[in-house]
Amino acid sequence: MAGETAGKVKKDEAFNNLKKRVDKIRQKVAEDHSEEEIKKKFSDIFNGYNWEKKTEGDEAAVSSLLSFAWSAFKLSFLMLLFVILVIIGSYIAVNNNPYLAKKMKNIMHDRNIAYIFARYMRKISLPLHAVVDLKKAQKWECLVQNPFYKPEEPSCELCEQPLEILDFPASSKDAKKVTESGEPTIIVDEPDFKNCRYNYTFLREFYYKNKADLDFSVCEVYGDRGNQKLEDFFKSSEEEILKSKMSFGWKNCRIEGARALRQLFRRPSFVPLMSEIYLEKCLFIIHRDSPTKFVLPSCGTSNCFIAQVHGSSQVTLTPFEDCKRNCSGTERTDLKVGEIFYYPDQPWTVTVEATNEDLSIIYRSDFS
Residue 368 pLDDT level (bands cut at 50, 70, 90): confident
Q: In terms of Cα–Cα distance, which of 249, 254, 302 is closest to 279?
A: 254
Let me know if residue 308 belongs to a domain.
yes
State the CATH number of the domain containing residue 226.
Answer: 2.60.120.650
Q: Which residue in 302, 107, 267, 256 sits closest to 187, CA to CA?
A: 267
The verdict on 163 and 45 lying in the same domain is no
Mean of the pLDDT values across residues 37-63? Answer: 60
Q: Which domain holds residue 23?
A: 2-49
- Asked if residue 221 lies in contact with residue 294, where contact means CB atoms within 8 angstroms, the answer is no
Is 121 a member of any domain? no
User: Is residue 79 domain-resident?
Assistant: no
With both helix axes pointing from N to C terminus, report the angle between 2-30 and 35-47 in degrees, rounded to the nearest 10: 140
Assess whether pLDDT exceeds 70 at residue 126.
yes
Conformation bin of residue 168: beta by default, left when phi > 0, alpha when psi is -120 to 50: beta
In a domain, 108, yes or no: no
Q: Report phi then psi at 191, rounded to 5.
A: -55, -45
CB 296 within 8 A of CB 282: yes
Rounded CA separation 64/18 (Å): 43
- Average of per-residue pLDDT values in the chain: 80
Residues 213 and 341 placed together within one structural domain of the fold: yes
Residue 69 resides in a domain = no
Distance in angstroms (rounded) separating the CA atoms of residues 188 and 339: 5
**Same domain (yes/no): 43, 163:** no
The pLDDT tens digits of the residues spanning 152-211 come to 777 788 888 777 888 888 888 877 777 777 888 898 888 878 777 789 999 999 999 999
Interval 253-303: pLDDT, tens: 888 999 999 889 888 888 887 777 888 899 999 999 988 888 888 887 788
pLDDT at 144 over 60: no
Please check whether residue 105 lies inside any domain of the structure: no
Q: Residue 368, Cα to own-chain centre: how many angstroms?
A: 12
Any domain includes 260: yes
The DSSP H or E segment spanning 272 is none
26 and 168 in a single domain? The answer is no
Q: Determine the Cα–Cα distance for residues 349 and 298; give it in Å rounded to an integer.
A: 8
Q: Is residue 67 part of a domain?
A: no
* Residues belonging to the chain: 368
Q: Do the Cβ atoms of 170 and 189 come closer than 8 Å? A: yes
| Residue of higher predicted confidence among 148 and 79 | 79
Query: What is the model's pLDDT at position 362?
Result: 94
205: enclosing H helix or E strand: helix 200-209
Task: Report which residue type is found at 47.
Answer: N
Q: pTM value?
A: 0.63
Lowest mean pLDDT among 107-111, 303-307, 339-343: 107-111
- Between strands 218-223 and 348-354, the pairing is unpaired
Question: Peptide bond preceding 297: is omega within 30 degrees of 0, i.e. cis?
Answer: no
Measured distance CA(320)–CA(214) in Å, rounded: 32
End-to-end CA, the chain: 92
Number of domains comprising the chain: 2
Q: How many C-beta atoms lie closer than 10 Å to residue 286's C-beta?
A: 22
HSE-up of 5 (CA within 13 Å, CB side)?
2
Encode 133-153 in three state secondary structure.
CHHHHHHCCCCCCCCCCCCCC
- Same domain assignment for residues 41 and 162: no
| Distance set, CA 235 to CA 148, 205, 206, 238, 367 (Å) | 47, 11, 13, 10, 32
pLDDT band of 86, cuts 50, 70, 90 = confident
Q: Do residues 42 and 172 both lie within one domain?
A: no
